[in-house]
Amino acid sequence: MARPPLIGVTMSTTPDGGQTNTPPRAWVNHAYFRAVLDAGGIPILLPPHLDGRALEQLWARLDGILLTGGGDVDPAHFGEDQHPTVADVSEARDRLEIAVTERAMHDRRPLLAICRGIQVLNVALGGSLHQDIASDTGSTIAHSQTAPRDQPTHLVKVMGEGTRLGATLGAPEIAVNSMHHQALKRLGSGLRDVAWAPDGIIEGVEIADGTALVLGVQWHPEELVAHDPAARNLFRTLVAAAEMHRR
């Protein structure tokens, strides 16, 4: 019997300059595990401080990649000074996730990028970020919601015709949750925006040539899978593409 696809899942970590009385930690929210497992994959942890040898050994076994949410990307990676609102930066996490993203692009490994993940994807491909949506754009939408994580709080319009994300989500407009204060600004090489919030903030991207599965969403579908078919479809699509890649 063939084994299920192995999906590398990136992890959050203690931010640089954290409290000295807190031991260094790496973690990931359980919802990501559940979403991958329910879609038929097996989640494999990718902690930020993996050395090159360990990552090389894991990479040979992974069939797909899931970039998860978390703290802010260091704006030095896109040539900007740090805005006062930037928080929870980890150079180790930035370094690992950018390297994993670049390698996934090179090897055409299926990749799904969520929240911080879509931002890492964009930065790894040479793009930039709004370091703080409210300061940069004046948007009045609450992109950092106070409602429970599994409750949608705003709509997203999706380009349906000719897009992989549109085909995956199965609807031209969906309701999403929102837990971020940063967003994509200048798009990275090869990316196209295919979903937007009502204020114009980019909520979904994909690789324009469509030869490999690379999807990025700004919301948190892992928190919505219990009641949202579109959210479940994102993880099923990742696992199905990873299964095809393994063959």
Q: Give residue 222's pLDDT.
A: 98
> Over 90: is that where the pLDDT of 15 sits?
no
pLDDT in tens, 104-149: 999 999 999 999 999 999 999 999 999 999 999 999 999 999 999 9
- Give the CA-trace dihedral at 175, 153, 67, 190, to 10 degrees: 60
243 is catalytic: no
The string of pLDDT tens digits covering residues 192-237 is 999 999 999 999 999 988 788 999 999 999 999 999 999 999 999 9
Examine the residue annotation and report whether 206 is marked as an active-site residue of this protein: no
Task: Give the residue among 191, 222, 71, 24 at the shortest CA–CA distance from 122.
Answer: 191
Q: Where are the beta strands (DSSP E) in the chain?
A: 6-10, 12-13, 26-27, 42-46, 64-67, 111-114, 129-130, 154-158, 173-176, 183-184, 191-196, 202-207, 214-217
Please give the pLDDT value at position 3: 87
Least trusted range by pLDDT, from 11-15, 27-31, 70-74, 146-150: 11-15
Residues 6+ apart with CB under 8 A from 125: 101, 105, 188, 189, 190, 191
Q: 97, 203, 206, 222: which is the annotated catalytic residue?
A: 222
C-alpha span between 164 and 166 (Å, rounded):
5
What are the DSSP calls for 157-203, one per residue?
Answer: EE--TT-HHHHHH-SSEEEE--B-S-EE-SPPTTEEEEEE-TTS-EE
pLDDT at 208: 83
Domain ranges of the chain: 6-246
CATH number for the domain whose boundaries are 6-246: 3.40.50.880
Active site residue: 97, 115, 180, 203, which one?
115
pLDDT of residue 1: 62
pLDDT tens digits, 40-64:
999 999 999 998 899 999 999 999 9
- Residue count of the chain: 247
102 is annotated as an active-site residue: no
**Catalytic residue from among 130, 143, 181, 220:** 220
List beta partners, residue 205: 193, 216
Residues 6+ apart with CB under 8 A from 199: 137, 139, 140, 141
pLDDT digits (tens, 9 = 90+) for 95-104: 999 999 999 9
In the prediction, which pLDDT does 211 show?
A: 80
CB 122 within 8 A of CB 188: yes
Model pTM? 0.96
Cβ within 8 Å of residue 49, ≥6 positions away: 13, 26, 92, 96
